[in-house]
Structure 1
Amino acid sequence: MAKTIQTAIEAGSRMAPAKFYIKITPDGPYLLYGNPPMDQEIIVPNDEGSSWTYRKGNHFSTTEEPTALCRCGASKNKPYCDGSHHHTDWDPKETASHKPLLEDAEEYIGPTMVLADNEEYCAFARFCDAYGRIWNLVQTAESQEERDLVIHEAEHCPAGRLVVWDKETGEIFEPPFDPAIGLIEDPVIKVSGPIWVKGGIRIESSDGSSYEIRNRVTLCRCGQSQNKPFCDGTHVSAKWHDKLPMEQEAEVE
């Protein structure tokens, strides 16, 4: 009998309509339901070469129900599954905890804001270093300009490992995402990143339980994460690239 775990919703997030969800198959692809839009999300650096924003690249169809997305990293038809998981060397086992992300997060308390960080979910997108490391910035941020920079760096973390809120009011700052799927591309370091799940789309484990609902989640796309189904940044050390075409190279802003 499948293990049943009550679905939690992270503070500051809201669950997408029930038609949107991702089912993880035991030794195969992600099955995407609800036909949300799916586009490349290309990381664009600032004038200092640090990650600063995203630019949409190519659009991909999700008109099939469900749409099978590769999670072993070996498909020749990315981002879709082509059955390569049957004959490639990878470990499909889910190893991530079902505990809420914030439960094991470390807090950094500043004069006006609090930052929570759960490093286990780092997707190595590097927005946290854009104009100073966010862990240092939050501890001195008082002016609106300083607060806006902290919020920008936190909200652009695709994995949601970084969550920031107002110290006085408790307001959590989250981007207002609609349900959507992104395929992260990182031209600066010449790798392809995870599947970016936006807008509170439910992720269902192969055992039938659901992971915590979050506004921002990144799923492993290279097949090598040690925190499956979530990305842990291994695509960077593995120098993994999906070989999908991009409309143009990222431009400096």
Structure 2
Amino acid sequence: MTKPDSPSVENGSKQAPESFYIKITPDGPYLVYGNPPIDQEIILPNEEGSSWVYQRGKHFDSSASPVALCRCGHSKHKPFCDGSHKMAKDWDSKETASHRPLLEEVEELEGPSMILADNEKYCAFARFCDAYGRVWNLVQRAASEEEREIVRHEVGHCPSGRLVLWDKKTEKIFEPPFEPSIGIIEDPGIKVSGPIWVKGGIRIEGTDGRSYEIRNRVTLCRCGQSSNKPFCDGTHASMHFHDDIPLEDSGEKR
């Protein structure tokens, strides 16, 4: 295991045990250490057609140490790396994301009982924020517990963590209680494959040895075309990225 630096931990998040971490390799894959479970996470809609829940699908073998996950978008064995990055001419592997804490560059919206912080550059285009009137509108008027629960649901299902919510009275940040794990997001609603969803405070180490801010929810680019690498910026949707992995129904919705 590489010796970690002392990365910052986002307020409201908790760092996973040190055995769990991801190392970004120069011009190569993500190396995942600690054997976290890796599963398909399939976005399913509500009755209005908006993203609403995840359905767990295919389980991937994570017994190797480390597991190499594709980040160029060209592997024929997705989500795993098969060496295709060596021949990928349209892939720029350079990391361009800031190491600054996400909450330093947010816009805030204040409602009767909650405050919503939003850092749009981390948007993974999962669209949970659009249901039932859009979360930016909802938080500014949410007065009842039913309305507050809808806001918490939409924010908590945002895989990238671009949306951060806290209670004005208790000043406590709301975060879903994730264990260290990896999701491979599939978005059949728009017929694309989404990013790698890193959950539970897993440390992500860049090619220069510096760790990014540790957060409870992070999405990593796997189409190879994000302009905010290593993080997803939603480009997979506009380029119609598809990994050709069959969708499996575990029956488990969250």
Q: Which amino acid aligns with 1:107?
A: E
1:6: Cα distance to partner?
4.0
Determine the structure 1 residue equivalent to 2:22.
Answer: 22
Q: Which amino acid aligns with 1:201?
A: I
Give TM-score scaled by structure 1 length: 0.96
Q: Does 1:54 align with 2:50?
A: no
User: What CA distance in whole angstroms lies between the structure 2 residues aligned with 1:215 and 1:119?
Assistant: 17
- Cα contact 2:184–2:196 (8 A) shared by 1: yes
Q: Which amino acid aligns with 2:230?
A: P
1:249: Cα distance to partner?
11
Determine the structure 2 residue equivalent to 1:69.
Answer: 69
User: What CA distance in whole angstroms lies between the structure 1 residues aligned with 2:93 and 2:170?
Assistant: 42
Determine the structure 1 residue equivalent to 2:125.
Answer: 124
1:111: Cα distance to partner?
1.0
Instruction: Please state whether the residue corresponding to 2:98 is helix, strand or coil.
Output: coil
Deviations 1:12-51 (A, max 9, x none): 1000000000000011000000000000000010011000
Determine the structure 2 residue equivalent to 1:106.
Answer: 107
- Cα contact 1:42–1:187 (8 A) shared by 2: yes
Determine the structure 2 residue equivalent to 1:161.
Answer: 162
Instruction: Please state whether the residue corresponding to 1:85 is helix, strand or coil.
Output: helix
Q: Does 1:246 align with 2:241?
A: no
User: What CA distance in whole angstroms lies between the structure 1 residues aligned with 2:43 and 2:9?
Assistant: 28
Determine the structure 2 residue equivalent to 1:170.
Answer: 171
Q: Which amino acid aligns with 2:235?
A: T
1:5: Cα distance to partner?
6.8
Q: Which amino acid aligns with 2:66?
A: P
User: What CA distance in whole angstroms lies between the structure 2 residues aligned with 1:34 and 1:8?
Assistant: 20
Instruction: Please state whether the residue corresponding to 2:182 is helix, strand or coil.
Output: strand
Deviations 1:206-249 (A, max 9, x none): 00010000000000010000000000000000000000011259
Instruction: Please state whether the residue corresponding to 2:42 is helix, strand or coil.
Output: strand
- Cα contact 1:117–1:162 (8 A) shared by 2: yes
Deviations 1:165-200 (A, max 9, x none): 001111111000000000000001000000000000
User: What CA distance in whole angstroms lies between the structure 2 residues aligned with 1:27 and 1:13?
Assistant: 30
User: What CA distance in whole angstroms lies between the structure 2 residues aligned with 1:249 and 1:216?
Assistant: 22
User: What CA distance in whole angstroms lies between the structure 2 residues aligned with 1:185 and 1:199?
Assistant: 20
What is the correspondence of 1:89-238 to structure 2 with a 5 Å cutoff? 89=89, 90-238=91-239
Instruction: Please state whether the residue corresponding to 1:75 is helix, strand or coil.
Output: coil
- Cα contact 1:187–1:249 (8 A) shared by 2: no
- Cα contact 1:193–1:235 (8 A) shared by 2: yes
User: What CA distance in whole angstroms lies between the structure 2 residues aligned with 1:247 and 1:159?
Assistant: 23
Give TM-score scaled by structure 2 length: 0.96
Q: Which amino acid aligns with 1:215?
A: N
